[in-house]
Amino acid sequence: MEKSLWQHIATVRQQSPLVHNITNFVVMNNTANALLAVGASPIMAHAHSEVADMVSIAHALVINIGTLDEYWVESMLLAAATANKSNKPWVLDPVGAGATAYRDEVLQKLLAFNPTIIRGNASEIMALAKNNTVTTKGVDSTAASNDAISSARLLVEKYKAVVCISGAVDFVVDSKQTVSITNGHPLMTKVTGLGCSATALIGAFAGVTANKTEAAVAAMAVLSIAGELAEQQSKGPGSLQLHLLDQLYALTEEVFNARLKLGITA
Amino acid sequence: MEKSLWQHIATVRQQSPLVHNITNFVVMNNTANALLAVGASPIMAHAHSEVADMVSIAHALVINIGTLDEYWVESMLLAAATANKSNKPWVLDPVGAGATAYRDEVLQKLLAFNPTIIRGNASEIMALAKNNTVTTKGVDSTAASNDAISSARLLVEKYKAVVCISGAVDFVVDSKQTVSITNGHPLMTKVTGLGCSATALIGAFAGVTANKTEAAVAAMAVLSIAGELAEQQSKGPGSLQLHLLDQLYALTEEVFNARLKLGITA
Amino acid sequence: MEKSLWQHIATVRQQSPLVHNITNFVVMNNTANALLAVGASPIMAHAHSEVADMVSIAHALVINIGTLDEYWVESMLLAAATANKSNKPWVLDPVGAGATAYRDEVLQKLLAFNPTIIRGNASEIMALAKNNTVTTKGVDSTAASNDAISSARLLVEKYKAVVCISGAVDFVVDSKQTVSITNGHPLMTKVTGLGCSATALIGAFAGVTANKTEAAVAAMAVLSIAGELAEQQSKGPGSLQLHLLDQLYALTEEVFNARLKLGITA
């Protein structure tokens, strides 16, 4: 897999996939900038009057429930249904899963349209899985990785999705393997929405890559490596956000492969 | 009071209060980043279906009417009612008070839920008070500080709130005293939404500090001092915005106390 | 014309026109910052309950359909009708024209309120014109400048508007002439929303300048020159965005005139 990842990055730069985002108000700007920096082409659109048309011309769909409301949820359901019907890859970011009953209800409806890939932090992945088994324990924001991995496996099995857990170590779980990416830097958690950027980048890679596990791994790796390079130039979260975009844009194959820390277990 | 302020900053960093923001589209991203930089944890949520639930798990609520509409106003009223009923601190930012009749109507409804703290510029504070007395003169964007202070006192008396007027000199007014903070730099007015960031930071401090006057003063002081430090590194508003976040994140007790310019009058 | 442009920039800085933006969620923050950096005063407001009142106090209105939906379209129509009725300059940014049937329907309704100036990229201008003649060929994102210029001329004639096509070379077309601006840098396309910033700046200049062709040219020139100066300091799109705001703020008459590359044809 290591050898394929840079190829996926090169493909995104060459093909510039159109990524349709229905995402939250907080991160729309830096999500668009992250997609542009890796060479993809972002579109944000949510009107009921056009959302299905927009899905049909995009290479991938990204749904992020961060600032959901009743209108936007209907947009998300229309878009997810369209993507599911036309076998278009779509990525779900269950922001705040478990925080309110409303978020959990909406997420159950979205899951019914079979997301291709799900990305969340440990708490969110555990909250999603909790809806599906009485034996999983409650949401824990300081959740241990092992707990989140078992939750991810439940989601993989139930929804036939690839599941990505982001954190100090990122995990990408499918039905056969668990891939770990040990790149990145803790300062990245002090910039709002880098998890949302990760989800959007997964969309870009899923739009051009048949192997969805590799798409998720490539996206997490490029963001984490750009982030750790950016941190070396930064005095705080303001400068990290800037340098991260520069690094996403300028990253080379040599640097990427030298820094990549991947682990694969069956 | 001077001696307590750094303690409040340390408390925000240690306790990482959850701050629920119902704020405007322009500033959501830099509001979230400012909250993260001081160590708080931002949530943005406005759906009628979850807004009361979200207030109940937050340490403080911030309502900013900058890009209000009928749906969002209902969200704000639901949230303010919930905060008021449960004695949760909430902060009101009356953006554009006096600019349209609609804003003034909405602000009157929000004031009925007794905000803990109100923060606005001189024009906004005067416009808010104008609704409550026929003797106050009209809104003036170049309002003199003294005029705004008397308006602030009217609001303090009528709503039992702490009132903060931001400007070249910031004032925090309660029923017993007026505190002035003479930090900051004029270039800060060329970055959109730093007033909104101030309001959000007040929310963070109010979430962990019993003394709400000190909460407002600590928030205004930390933002103004970070701003004047950032300006020394900046060639314009673009770089100021970046360095401000870095300074909020890295500010030390020694530098804070050396720069703080506080005045207190009965 | 060359000699007038700096005067328009100086006028914006002196008069600080109030620019009312009904724009998309992705760019609200950097649009506001671009307006502040050139000395204008941004307002974002869209509530049906206040949008006409806000138009009436603004010097210019900017409508950008980037993240339109049914509610926001109604806001746009109310605002455009108000501006049209009161002869207030308003600028239309037809983001994604041609991408969906919904966008094209909405754009036809907006055009009926006679925008003072229209700014789009080549594809968008061609899509707009396509609605008005069966002989124009379809949308093409790699459209040649000549094709877009003939589409612009159709729009000029039909709607009595000034039309601006942005791209590697920017063109401003009116009933008598075509002005070209050959400034800027390709890296600017990797920062989201600089086209939207251009439209907002056109609004600022239209708010203080009787000659609307010169208003559009001045706005495109100041943004493009600031962009090429910023690029010289930048390692990627993250730093370009920052330096662009600094350059917009600090640009001098001497540098502006030395760099300006204008062409005028009848």
**What's residue C130's pLDDT?**
84
Mutation test of the interface with chain A: which of C192, C194, C235, C246, choosing the one with the most A Cβ atoms within 10 A?
C192
pLDDT tens across C48-70, in order?
A: 999 999 999 999 999 999 999 99
Asked whether B34 and B201 are in contact (CB, 8 A), the reply is: yes
- pLDDT band for position A95 (cuts 50, 70, 90): very high
Which tokens sit at A234? 């930064």
Nearest residue in chain C measured CA to CA from B101: C50
pLDDT digits (tens, 9 = 90+) for A140-152: 345 656 679 999 9
- Give strand ranges (E) for chain B: 18-22, 41-44, 60-64, 90-93, 117-121, 162-166, 170-173, 178-181, 262-265
Find the largest Cα–Cα distance for chain C.
47
| Tens of pLDDT, residues B1-43 | 989 999 999 999 999 999 999 999 999 999 999 999 999 999 9
Length of chain C: 266
- pLDDT of C20 > 80? The answer is yes
**Predicted pLDDT at C266:** 87
Residue-wise pLDDT for A199-208, tens only, equals 999 999 999 9
**DSSP symbol at C24:** -
CATH superfamily of domain region B2-265: Ribokinase (3.40.1190.20)
Q: What pLDDT was estimated at residue A140?
A: 35
Is B103 known as a binding-site position? no
B-chain residues near A24 (CB < 8 A): 44
The Cα of B25 is separated from the nearest Cα of chain A by a number of Å equal to 7
What is the pLDDT confidence band of residue A244, given thresholds at 50, 70 and 90? Answer: very high
Average pLDDT, chain A: 94
B236 interface with C at CB cutoff 8 Å:
yes
For residue A227, the tally of other CB atoms under 10 A from its CB is 25
Q: Residue B143: which pLDDT band, with cuts at 50, 70 and 90?
A: low
A119 assigned ligand-binding residue: yes
Suggest the residue from A25, A222, A245, A251 to mutate for an interface test with chain C (most C CBs closer than 10 A): A245
Give burial (CB, 10 Å; 0-12/13-18/19+) of A101: exposed
Tell whether C151 is in a known binding site.
no
Strands B117-121 and B90-93: parallel
For residue A6, the one-letter residue type is: W
Q: Is the pLDDT of residue A105 over 90?
A: yes
Q: What is the mean pLDDT of residues B79-99?
A: 97
Does C46 contact B69 at a Cβ distance shorter than 8 Å?
yes
- Mean pLDDT confidence for A38-62: 98
Among A68, A234, A239, select the one facing B47 at the smallest CB separation.
A68
Q: With 0-12 CB in 10 A as exposed, 13-18 as middle and 19+ as buried, what is B150?
A: middle
Q: Among B64, B76, B100, B233, which would you mutate to test the C interface (most chain C Cβ atoms within 10 Å of its Cβ)?
A: B100
> Tell me, what's the pLDDT at B266?
87
> Which tokens hold the place of B258?
């050396």
Is A141 flagged in the annotation as binding?
A: no
Residue B100 has pLDDT above 90, yes or no: yes
| pLDDT number for residue C7 | 98
**Nearest chain C CA: its distance from B131 CA (Å):** 18
Calpha distance B65→B87 (Å, rounded): 21
CB contact under 8 A, C69 and A48: yes
Neighbours of chain A (3+ CB pairs under 8 A): B, C
Boundaries of every domain in chain A: 2-265
Segment A116-135 mean pLDDT: 82
* Pairwise CB contact (< 8 Å): C36 & B239: no
Question: Please, is C2 exposed, middle or buried when counting C-beta atoms within 10 Å of its C-beta (0-12, 13-18, 19+)?
Answer: exposed
What is the tens place of the pLDDT at every residue in C156-170?
999 999 999 999 999
Q: How confident is the model over C80-106, as pLDDT tens digits?
A: 999 999 999 999 999 999 999 999 999
C66 DSSP 8-state letter: T
